Structure 1
């Protein structure tokens, strides 16, 4: 499997820009060639969305979303090896390859000359992830980024047990967090806290809940109830259903009966189920004009933007405004839009490079470094890892409006 050094990636991107195609290569090119590539672009192009990047990375609340390009003093940093485990083949190969391209883009933009990225294909299976982790460990990496899915994370944990290496996974299964595993996926806890607090600020007091009967549904329902009670609100209606249910008409009809006093309904589901529930609620009289729909991070989905029954619905999520610059740079480089989760791979790789630079290679990825309470500023806003391995994020309040997603309350800019 190919290893990716930053210098070889410079040459790869030159090829991409000149012939509009990308082929992953393990080539070794000269520094003169890399300098020639760098010199082909103006340093201060006013039309370049990256032109106003800060000259230096801040020591606290590190900004990894808008890094500088390579600087001479970074050439003397010690060699760093980081493995990245993604589904590059199999059912989710499009997602895995988009995330790998984002990681490669971060590798170039962060400018760490001796940073070696080691991609391995998990094939989106536990068996593939087990083999990928074993193969990666043969290269003696100092950190593992990925994988995405819970069963793959468990397989990697079994391989790395006792190996004194930390993992930054993209999973949202909070039960996987442990001593050496940090979860970077979008967790529901902060989303629920943020949306419930915002709703309370709107003077909404009487709430209903419609949620699936599963681990996610149970967790967000419990968290929402607790937060509403703490804010002085009440839960007067609740409908729970099996995720496999084919027809929710009867349940939603029953829920809608004698619900005219509801101020808001919490609907922590995504995709087709969110569309179905919103449509049934509207059909039975609980339209978005009469009651406020509240969602979770599962609503951060462009497919839902044009669902008229969700218009005016609000949810907590990363600021799309902050992510826009990353998406523009990715589009310019690869001539296609990134898949939504690609930003996580960018931030994880950029974070690894920043920690390696600050730690000068020594103890760069230990627990104190990863759990810096000041946190980091990435493409999805500020985030930090808590001692329990779970990520904490600063979230905006977003609204479905005019066929798009509009930020109506900004995300915090620091954890202070």
Structure 2
């Protein structure tokens, strides 16, 4: 614990406020569109990096955990050339825009965050006006565009990865049991597109009211849909605690989960997911958990509590900023530098940013085996078509 306190003290010394006064210039610079930008470097020569996080509102707990992970990363990455400052992006696009403008006035050269997709989308016009590039923590591919990259683990690639694995195991029939929400709609549509592209068949798509406690009706319709020969993989993009109700409804509809293959998305990547015996043998796609386990142990030792799941995004983003600052060009946060085709590697595994703002992830397929999860298909070691 003594070494952890020393690490924190050192990290604190490395953190410099983006609002540090910039050098005075005798000739006024050209006035850009939007707020007047300050110097991207501090008087001591550090590069200013902004961290936009929800430090107030409904997601403040997540925001604080991500801020602590960012501070931890600054120390671990040896980012002595960075001056990192956190700005409260709140829970709305307007508060995110205000935070971005404050960071821009302070001269920050790169913006890490915000967390929400709608907030990231709201920053795009400011980036187009000449503002700093954004690496957002959202996983919403709709928010992705040139200059605004999403770093979160998008849901469609998770479906593609687990569908590919199911097909490799001889499964050709698929079904969906999902909530009637925007997320459920997206996952249902993605499964149908991906199955069709691979010559597989979707035999049923049943969605239920997410506010209902009784999902039996939808489950019985699903049971009728999947009747026939051949094993069926049922996609259930349902997060705990509602996942328990969804699984119970399958049992009530007399769907034998031992005779179907349950598959899921990253919402299953949560502690205690294997406590329901019906999930034994189920598959989902996510970053390799072994990498995250070490991060979680060290975070717990420093801060005395486990990190929020999204904390790894902030950790990896700061490590990426440090690598960019040490780049061959003397430190560049340009689109060309960010979209390095070789990609980057962090706690959540390899990631590559694309020119259109999306990102590619190397995901593993994980099988739930009671109180532990096992990687049954390792994450690809190189970026390719299967990871699009």
State how far apart, in whole Å, the 1-side matches of 2:137 and 2:261 are. Answer: 31
Number of the residue aligned with 1:308: 277
Residue in structure 1 matching 2:243, options 260, 274, 277: 274
Question: Equivalent residue of 1:132, what SS?
Answer: helix
Q: TM-score, normalised by structure 2?
A: 0.84
**Match status 1:85 vs 2:81:** no
Q: 1:366 to 1:396 in 2, by over 3 A?
A: same
C-alpha contact (below 8 Å) 1:381/1:413 kept by paired residues: no
C-alpha contact (below 8 Å) 1:288/1:311 kept by paired residues: no
Number of the residue aligned with 1:183: 150
State how far apart, in whole Å, the 1-side matches of 2:162 and 2:14 are. Answer: 45
Residue in structure 1 matching 2:355, options 380, 384, 387: 387
Number of the residue aligned with 1:35: none
Question: Equivalent residue of 1:257, what SS?
Answer: helix
State how far apart, in whole Å, the 2-side matches of 1:133 and 1:27 are. Answer: 18
1:251-290 to structure 2, matched below 5 A, reads 251-257=218-224, 259-261=226-228, 262-290=231-259
Give the drift of 1:164: 3.5
Question: Equivalent residue of 1:277, what SS?
Answer: helix
1:232-290 Cα offsets, whole Å, 9 max, x none, are 32111221234344432211122213634352211122223322111111222223211
Give the drift of 1:214: 3.6
Number of the residue aligned with 1:353: 322
**5+ unaligned residues in a row in structure 1: which ranges?**
1-10, 29-76
1:13-45 Cα offsets, whole Å, 9 max, x none, are 538589xxx9999789xxxxxxxxxxxxxxxxx
C-alpha contact (below 8 Å) 1:300/1:317 kept by paired residues: yes
State how far apart, in whole Å, the 2-side matches of 1:26 and 1:365 are. Answer: 19
1:94-243 to structure 2, matched below 5 A, reads 94-243=61-210
> How many residues end up aligned between the 2 structures?
354
Q: Aligned-pair RMSD on alpha carbons?
A: 2.7
**Match status 1:14 vs 2:6:** yes
Q: 1:377 to 1:218 in 2, by over 3 A?
A: same
Q: 1:240 to 1:356 in 2, by over 3 A?
A: same
**5+ unaligned residues in a row in structure 2: which ranges?**
18-43
State how far apart, in whole Å, the 1-side matches of 2:323 and 2:61 are. Answer: 27
Number of the residue aligned with 2:341: 373
Question: Equivalent residue of 2:319, what SS?
Answer: helix
Residue in structure 2 matching 1:399, options 367, 371, 374: 367
State how far apart, in whole Å, the 1-side matches of 2:178 and 2:135 are. Answer: 29
C-alpha contact (below 8 Å) 2:15/2:85 kept by paired residues: no
